[in-house]
Chain A
Amino acid sequence: MIVKLSGQRWIWVYAAAVVVWVVTVSAAGRGLVSTVIAAATVAAYLAIVGVGQMFVITSGSGNIDLSIAYVMTFCGFVGLRVMGGDNALLVPGLLVAAACGLVVGLVNALSIRLLRIPPIVATLSVGFVLLSGSQVLAHQGSFAPSPGLAGFTSARVLGIPWIVLVGVAVAGLAAVVLHRTAYGRRLQATGQSEPAAVLAGIRTGRVGGSTYLISGGSAGVAGVLLASYAGGAAVDLATTYQLGSIIVVVLGGSLISGGVSNVSGIWGAALFLTLLVTMLNVLHVSTAWQFIVEGLLIIAVLAAANPRSEGTTVGRGPRRG
């Protein structure tokens, strides 16, 4: 029954994306294919971090990663700084950004598991420390991305941007890990019922904690890619991803209370959100109204689509035995 319900939800979000796409194209009067390719290019970053957020949310017990946007910006700065506009340092830059994201993920996981800080407080406060770091780096000058990586983020193969293929590959890999590996099964079991998972012999602490590493690492890589695509890092580089990464997970059909996740829905929701912004821009809607429409739409869609009772309490850290 759960499969049926969540299946319906992700089909709805693709349908909504198509509606927005049609409105945008008819308002602009052109660009049937180019609109969707441009949207997919931007949506790819959202899909990559959305997959990381999905792993965290799937583990249940109020787990959520509010540091993603700050990790992306910070790793964007750090990665670009290591590269220094030099192609020879492209790989080290990417690796350092990924490592930074993993370290933040580890800090998040340890604070939640060992210090028993509620996930929402732990990830938010870690995020604010990173924001300070980004502000300091921003005042030390701007750094150009390595030309190779900047080229890659806008390059295409057979008309499809590479970054879209990367985003689809990440989603595919996530689906395999989640549904075809023992780790994925353990993760879903933990999210569905932690006490039951413990009785089944699953080390729920490790499984839940590991998701923050996935989320941090993917945010780190996505951040340096996004900074390269944007031609440089800025303090507000990834601000919209704090809400965005959660919204794509929930709109995509995963349950915020954990245990049930849907990977294909994430891409649908990312396309929907990106096309929505494109549509509002094409219709010359002001930034203020864009905020209002996006906020209301997100609340309305969730209120309308909510198929079953979800946990409304937050911040319940891992329960101790």
Chain B
Amino acid sequence: MTAPTLPARLGVVPWGRASQAALPVGSLVALLAVVLALEPNASTYRGLTLILSGSTGLIFAALAQLCLATLGDIDLGVGAAVGLANVVCATWLTDNPPLGVLALLGIVAGYVLLGLVVHARQVSSIIATLGASFVWLGLGLLLLPIPGGIAPAWLTDLFALRPVVVPLPVVIAAISAAVAYFVFMRSRFGLIARGSGVSQDAIRHSGRPLIVTQLAVYALAGFCVVLSGLAVTANTTSGDVNASSGYTLLSIAAVVLGGASFGGGRIAPVGAVLGAVSLTLVTSLLAFLDVSSDYQVGAQGLVLFLVVAVRALSSRRPA
């Protein structure tokens, strides 16, 4: 019953990295192959743009989830928070841009407060984020009681950009994966953040202000939520606080599929981005196969279940 030693849990074993990468890369390739076999048109620039257009929002939601997973926390309110950001973008950001920007910064501030509750007051992140999800949902309903609103023109134009050769969703995925990798795996900040997820005492004894790092990670999560809200707004061109409720489960699935554990410290930013793209392909695949929408949420649950089971059984440590 000995706990794994700390260096091993930080995931520095080289073969550990290699086996970690196999699952997200393998499942992405397999899913792409199936999608292309069913729908050859998907391989074109237009086709790829179309089937991956929904991935951008999920990528940022997954990165928000990854931030909290780094500290050993979990965000059960990320879907509702993205919903609120979506509603703010489709109303205030269009009608009154300064107010919209202020409200979006308010969401980031909300995440910092959440971090304060979880880490200064030691409230379980499960309950704090579930409670916060009610607040996000209520605020979103206040702003836009029924789905509606309209995306700002500049935002729709931005997401309608068609870069040469590589479709925009792929460009965004690559950039966000690279940025997340450097922030979490290569920077000093990322090292301290991951370290605090493994052993708060170790970081505390090193003389670093632990709470500052933790709050910064929460602020980063809030920032990713805002980016996700912007992407969802551009994709749907309107606002609906419930439109992204599925992101809570899907973001957890993407993070786990990517190779992270929710025990803290062990994360895989690039894997999480690949995971988010894979899960978007699952949704496209279900649509191609004409699976009734009744079964979609169950299929997503099943995918998450199988992925985690495979990962847990193939690794020596608990997933």
Is A bound to B?
Answer: yes
Chain A residues in the interface with B (C-beta under 8 A): 64, 111, 115-118, 120-122, 124-133, 135-136, 139, 194-195, 198, 242-243, 246-247, 250, 256-257, 286-296, 298-299, 302-303, 306, 309-321
Cβ B74 vs Cβ A314 within 8 A: yes
Knowing A117-B309, A117-B319, A118-B262 touch, does A243 contact B141 (C-beta < 8 A)? Answer: no
Instruction: Report A-chain residues with C-beta under 8 Å of the C-beta of B125.
Output: 312, 314
Instruction: Report A-chain residues with C-beta under 8 Å of the C-beta of B133.
Output: 295
Instruction: Report B-chain residues with C-beta under 8 Å of the C-beta of A306.
Output: 121-123
Knowing A131-B298, A136-B295 touch, does A121 contact B127 (C-beta < 8 A)? Answer: no
Which secondary structure dominates chain B's binding surface? helix
Chain B residues in the interface with A (C-beta under 8 A): 1, 3, 72-74, 117-119, 121-128, 130-135, 137-139, 141-142, 145, 197, 249, 252-253, 256, 261-264, 292, 294-302, 304-305, 308-309, 312-313, 318-319
Name the residue of chain B whose CB is nearest to the CB of A302.
B123
In the complex, what's the smallest C-beta–C-beta distance from B152 to chain A, in angstroms?
Answer: 24
Query: CB within 8 A of B74: which of A120, A129, A298?
Result: A120
Cβ A291 vs Cβ B138 within 8 A: yes
Cβ A315 vs Cβ B134 within 8 A: no
Instruction: Report A-chain residues with C-beta under 8 Å of the C-beta of B253.
Output: 125
Provide 24 A-B residue pairs closer than 8 Å at the C-beta atoms, listed in order of the A residue: A111-B309, A115-B309, A116-B319, A122-B305, A122-B308, A126-B305, A127-B301, A132-B297, A139-B294, A194-B1, A195-B1, A198-B1, A243-B131, A243-B134, A247-B127, A250-B127, A292-B134, A292-B135, A295-B131, A299-B117, A299-B131, A310-B123, A313-B263, A317-B312
Instruction: Report A-chain residues with C-beta under 8 Å of the C-beta of B128.
Output: 299, 302
Cβ B294 vs Cβ A136 within 8 A: yes
CA distance A313 to B261 in the complex (A): 11
In the complex, what's the smallest C-beta–C-beta distance from B137 to chain A, in angstroms?
Answer: 5
Which 7 pairs of residues, A with B, have the shortest CB-CB distance? A132-B298, A128-B301, A315-B262, A295-B134, A291-B138, A292-B138, A313-B72
Name the residue of chain A whose CB is nearest to the CB of B293.
A135
Name the residue of chain A whose CB is nearest to the CB of B74.
A314
Taking A115-B312, A294-B131, A298-B131 as known contacts, 17 extra A-B pairs with beta carbons closer than 8 A to each other, sorted by chain A number, are A117-B312, A118-B308, A124-B304, A128-B304, A131-B301, A133-B298, A247-B127, A257-B124, A287-B138, A288-B145, A291-B138, A292-B138, A295-B137, A296-B131, A298-B127, A302-B124, A314-B72
CA distance A64 to B129 in the complex (A): 15
Cβ A287 vs Cβ B262 within 8 A: no
